[in-house]
Structure 1
Amino acid sequence: MNIEQLNNNHGIVDHIKFIEGAGGFPYIRVDNAKGSAIISIYAGQVLSFHPANEPHNLMFVSERAYYQPGKSIKGGTPVCWPWFGPDPEGKGRPAHGFVRNRFWEVMRTEASGNEEGKVTLGLRDSAETKAIWPHSFELLLEITVSDSLNMELITRSLNGDTFPVTQALHTYFKVGDIAQVVILGLEGTEYVDKTDKGHVKSQAGAVVIDKEVDRIYRNVQGEIVIEDAELDRRIRIKSKGSKTAVVWNPWAKISAEMGDLKDDDYKCFVCVETANADQDVVQVGPDSESRLVANYRIERNVS
């Protein structure tokens, strides 16, 4: 993708600029009075979000992340679609679908005064995608940058097609010290424990991370809040179109085994994913759409 052409077609002076990023990938920089963000057109992935006057990034991105076509970027907001987790049909297709390792198209950009910027990225079916997943679709990702970060993943069925979708915004949140993190809003919620043979359990109290955690929470109600005492902030997560939340941290052994994580990176992030997964399958009917929405806001003064 030509950076100059992208700026000519979609740049907005002082608000939205296209730049060359890591690995030569085209990035979009969004700036306004309330916040700033960096978005990779490859993978349709937000890699950075800073509300104005906030000293720390919302996002964690590994220093060892791969920036290579065909590889996923470890950090930010990977998009899992049209399936979450292993290939549901056991055909050997990649985990978490096929949109987090390809270039998206810039559909449009907008700026509302100096307080909000919006970028819409999109993908449509092609001969290549139909060889992987035989459906006619349009997938849009609307990213709004202001004092919060808002993401809407929109799935549209085309040509009278009908298909099931599981999906997630697999967001990596930066934390100061995982040992001082508490996750609120999931108390009493049933979850599938993927670290314990998929046994179904009930969340007793707030979620703390003191070992490998890989859980799919069912029938999630209301907001989820990450309390990060070390960085003296809360991350408030509001979602729509989702009954599922996934909480993941690889802990020490898996972090050390991953080539795109440093050994101690597990101390610096937690994934809390807005999802449709497990029993929460979305059926997209003929010429209709579904929306998965997540809004992330930082609040100061945890103590």
Structure 2
Amino acid sequence: MKTEQLNTQYGIADQLQFIDGKGGFPNVEISNGKAKALISVYGGQILSYQPANEPEDLLFLSTRAYYQQGKAIKGGTPICWPWFGPDPEGLGRASHGFVRNRLWTVMGTHTTEDGATAVTLGVVNTPETTEIWPQTFELSITYTVGETLSIELKTQNTGSQEFSISQALHTYFKIGDINRVQVLGLNGSDYIDKVDGGQQKTQQGVVEFSEECDRIYTEPPAKLIIDDAALDRRINITSEGSKTAVVWNPWVENSASMGDLEDTDYQRLLCVETANAAQDIVNVLPGQAMSIKAHYSIER
């Protein structure tokens, strides 16, 4: 659907409009007095969120991100679904599933009672998706943009067979300096260290960064905090519907080897992901639905 049609059907005067984004993909542009945000209909992902009283964006978006069919956009919150990480069945399918690199459908927009703006995008099964993953489903994501940012990813099983999923809101947070960042709330939590061959470890104290980090924390608390001394802020992350949290930073070599990152981008990004990953597999019965939610706020 063209942006003109989308504006006619879903635009909200003085608050939400659809624009042509990079690569020709439609974007949702929000400015409602409480915050500004940019959401890509391609990939169904939010690219930017900045509260009105904040000098910096909450989210990191690579200046070298790809905006082309079949490629995921590096930054914001890519959606990993219906699996997180490598193909769980070893069939050669792409890592992190198939919804982060396809065009979603606009399902609705509205203004909430407190003046925030909500946008819902969706994906349903097609013959193409059935060849990749033979299930019948409706997937939707709702972004609520106000003084805080809320995301709900909802999976509905519209078929007659139970299916299993893993998933993640692969959120890239903008940080001032990776050497001066801590993640709080994980002390004593067990994790899988993917950099160290999947070894099972236990977090001692706060999470700090001096090398590549790729960890899946099992049974983390519902609230985590990114303490960013360089930007003089804390990012509060509250999750629902998940029993795992992923903490990732590519560090020097990986950042330099990725075509859609600048060599030094590892210094400016940190992923803390609300996820169902590793052994946190979700079974969805026919006719049933489940949601994973994340709520982000900034404090000084």
TM-score class normalised by the smaller sequence: over 0.9
In structure 2, do the counterparts of structure 1 residues 276 and 244 end up closer, same or farther at CA, with 3 Å as the change threshold?
A: same
Q: Is the 8 A contact 2:135 2:159 kept in 1?
A: no
The letter of the residue matching 1:34 is: K
| Distance (whole Å) between structure 1 residues aligned to residue 189 and residue 144 of structure 2 | 30
> Which residue of the partner structure matches residue 75 of structure 1?
75
- Cα deviation code 1:169-213 (max 9, x no counterpart): 000000000100010011110000000110000001000011000
> Which residue of the partner structure matches residue 238 of structure 2?
238
- Cα deviation code 1:112-131 (max 9, x no counterpart): 36720000000100100000
Q: How many residues align?
A: 300
> Which residue of the partner structure matches residue 207 of structure 2?
207
Report the alpha carbon displacement of residue 18 of structure 1 after superposing the two structures with TM. 0.2
SS in structure 2 at match of 1:8: helix
Report the alpha carbon displacement of residue 17 of structure 1 after superposing the two structures with TM. 0.3
> Which residue of the partner structure matches residue 123 of structure 1?
123
- Cα deviation code 1:264-286 (max 9, x no counterpart): 00000100000000011110001
TM-score normalised by structure 2 residue count: 0.99
- Cα deviation code 1:204-224 (max 9, x no counterpart): 100001100000000112310
| Distance (whole Å) between structure 2 residues aligned to residue 155 and residue 225 of structure 1 | 27
Report the alpha carbon displacement of residue 33 of structure 1 after superposing the two structures with TM. 2.0
> Which residue of the partner structure matches residue 297 of structure 1?
297
> Which residue of the partner structure matches residue 249 of structure 1?
249
The letter of the residue matching 2:231 is: L
Moved more, 158-167 or 195-204: 158-167
| Distance (whole Å) between structure 1 residues aligned to residue 203 and residue 40 of structure 2 | 35
Moved more, 84-93 or 12-21: 12-21
> Which residue of the partner structure matches residue 225 of structure 2?
225
SS in structure 1 at match of 2:196: coil
Q: Is the 8 A contact 2:79 2:168 kept in 1?
A: yes
Report the alpha carbon displacement of residue 296 of structure 1 after superposing the two structures with TM. 0.6
Map residues 142-291 of structure 1 onto 2, 5 A cutoff: 142-291=142-291
The letter of the residue matching 2:36 is: S
> Which residue of the partner structure matches residue 87 of structure 1?
87
- Cα deviation code 1:105-151 (max 9, x no counterpart): 00000013672000000010010000000000000101100011100
| Distance (whole Å) between structure 2 residues aligned to residue 48 and residue 222 of structure 1 | 24
- Cα deviation code 1:4-59 (max 9, x no counterpart): 00100110111110011111111001121211210000000100001111000001
Q: Is the 8 A contact 1:140 1:154 kept in 2?
A: yes
Q: Is the 8 A contact 1:32 1:114 kept in 2?
A: no
> Which residue of the partner structure matches residue 3 of structure 1?
3
> Which residue of the partner structure matches residue 133 of structure 2?
133
Moved more, 241-250 or 159-168: 159-168
Unaligned runs of 5+ in 2: none
| Distance (whole Å) between structure 1 residues aligned to residue 73 and residue 117 of structure 2 | 24
| Distance (whole Å) between structure 1 residues aligned to residue 113 and residue 90 of structure 2 | 49
Report the alpha carbon displacement of residue 161 of structure 1 after superposing the two structures with TM. 2.5
Q: Does 1:106 pair with 2:103?
A: no
| Distance (whole Å) between structure 2 residues aligned to residue 222 and residue 27 of structure 1 | 31
Map residues 4-43 of structure 1 onto 2, 5 A cutoff: 4-43=4-43
| Distance (whole Å) between structure 2 residues aligned to residue 32 and residue 62 of structure 1 | 25
In structure 2, do the counterparts of structure 1 residues 113 and 280 end up closer, same or farther at CA, with 3 Å as the change threshold?
A: closer
Moved more, 97-106 or 31-40: 31-40
Percent identity over the alignment is 55
TM-score normalised by structure 1 residue count: 0.98
SS in structure 2 at match of 1:207: coil
Q: Is the 8 A contact 1:174 1:269 kept in 2?
A: yes
SS in structure 2 at match of 1:82: coil
Q: Is the 8 A contact 2:222 2:240 kept in 1?
A: no
